[in-house]
């Protein structure tokens, strides 16, 4: 049962018939792993904490830089040169005392990543480089942990959701065989409009809240949703399983 104070805090969610009190309790007992505390992660974390996710494990080895403040909205001027994960932990404590945060302020090796993924109910890939994305994808596939991944550059954003509990499902590498692709662009080289990356981070949080509170993703899985920040139009592409994928094909 929710306490009186919890009911008042979350009543706007509890009144939704497909969430209700049971769904809110699921959120309060959930464990979400967020890898990356940049533009994607900072937006997603605030909404996950506000929604009542009970435990967040946040991973980032970076410190706050003045160039981050244009889009990484969880940070403040007073956080400059401080550890990102510790700054996020402080902000979450001010957002919602129901949300407990454990920090990992370093790059994880494969064994630690696999362990953290296995312990989590769901993983948000909010990182900014392809090798890390592929490692996250592989760990999630191996442990059958749902994965919500997003990216943004310039005016463009992408979102994909993978529920690895099904049979013969594709994975992130099926869509992006990174060892066969040219080197990717990053925000420092290609630029980024703040609200675009914030939009994708918010949608990652929304997908996570769906899966945890309702028990399933309500949006299509195994797709790439592409957002154009100039026209504000969306496109959707299906991801088909690659029979030669080194991650998900036996």
Maximal CA-CA distance, the chain: 55
pLDDT of the residue at 165: 84
Q: What's the CA gap between 95 and 97, in Å, rounded?
A: 7
Q: What's the CA gap between 116 and 35, in Å, rounded?
A: 10
Average pLDDT of span 86-113: 97
pLDDT of the residue at 250: 74
Closest CA to 92 of 104, 75, 78: 75
What residue has token string 């690895």? 164
Q: What's the CA gap between 224 and 161, in Å, rounded?
A: 8
Written in H, E and C, the secondary structure of 79-108 is: HCCCEHHHHHHHHHHHHCCCCEEEEECCCC
pLDDT at 182 over 70: no
The count of other CB atoms within 10 Å of the CB of residue 11 is 11
Angle at the Cα of 229 from the Cα atoms of 205 and 189, rounded to 5 degrees: 90
Average pLDDT of span 161-174: 91
Q: Counting Cβ atoms within 10 Å, is residue 241 exposed (0-12), middle (13-18) or buried (19+)?
A: middle
Q: What is the pLDDT of residues 10-26, one digit of tens each?
A: 999 999 999 999 999 99
Query: Catalytic annotation on 187?
Result: yes
Instruction: Measure Cα distances from 217 to 68, 128, 148, 222, 232 in Å.
Output: 31, 24, 10, 11, 23
Q: What is the pLDDT of residues 101-154, one digit of tens each?
A: 999 999 999 999 999 999 999 999 999 999 999 999 999 999 999 999 999 999
Q: What's the CA gap between 218 and 163, in Å, rounded?
A: 12
What pTM did the predictor assign? 0.95
Choice between 1 and 28, residue whose per-residue pLDDT is larger: 28
pLDDT at 187 over 70: no
Q: Are 145 and 217 in contact (CB under 8 A)?
A: no
Q: What is the pLDDT of residues 190-206, one digit of tens each?
A: 789 999 999 999 999 99
Give the chain's length.
250
Q: Are 45 and 146 in contact (CB under 8 A)?
A: no
pLDDT at 178 over 80: no
pLDDT band at 183 (very low <50, low <70, confident <90, very high): low
Average pLDDT of span 143-170: 94
Closest CA to 146 of 164, 172, 169, 171: 164
Average pLDDT of span 176-181: 72
Q: What is the pLDDT of residues 214-250, one digit of tens each?
A: 999 999 999 999 999 999 999 999 999 999 999 999 7
pLDDT band at 77 (very low <50, low <70, confident <90, very high): very high
pLDDT at 180 over 60: no
Q: Which of the following is catalytic: 126, 140, 171, 187?
A: 187
């Amino acid at each position: 049962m929710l306490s009186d104070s919890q009911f008042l805090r979350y009543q706007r969610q509890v009144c939704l018939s497909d969430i209700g009190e049971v769904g809110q309790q699921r959120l309060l007992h959930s464990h979400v792993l967020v890898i990356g505390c940049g533009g994607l992660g900072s937006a997603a974390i605030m909404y996950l904490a506000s929604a009542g996710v009970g435990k967040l494990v946040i991973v980032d080895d970076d410190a706050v830089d003045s160039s981050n403040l244009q889009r990484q909205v969880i940070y403040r001027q007073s956080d400059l040169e401080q550890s990102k994960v510790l700054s996020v932990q402080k902000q979450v404590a001010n957002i919602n005392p129901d949300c407990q945060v454990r920090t990992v302020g370093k790059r994880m090796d494969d064994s630690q990543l696999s362990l953290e993924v296995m312990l989590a109910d769901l993983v948000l890939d909010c990182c900014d480089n392809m090798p890390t994305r592929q490692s996250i994808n592989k760990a999630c596939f191996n442990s059958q942990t749902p994965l919500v991944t997003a990216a943004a550059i310039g005016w463009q954003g992408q979102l994909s959701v993978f529920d690895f509990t099904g049979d013969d499902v594709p994975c992130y590498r099926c869509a992006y065989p990174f060892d066969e692709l040219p080197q990717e662009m990053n925000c420092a080289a290609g630029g980024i409009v703040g609200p675009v990356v914030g939009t994708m981070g918010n949608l990652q949080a929304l997908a996570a809240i769906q899966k945890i509170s309702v028990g399933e993703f309500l949006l299509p899985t195994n797709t790439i949703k592409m957002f154009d920040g100039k026209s504000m139009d969306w496109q959707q592409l299906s991801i088909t399983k690659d029979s030669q994928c080194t991650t998900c094909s036996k």
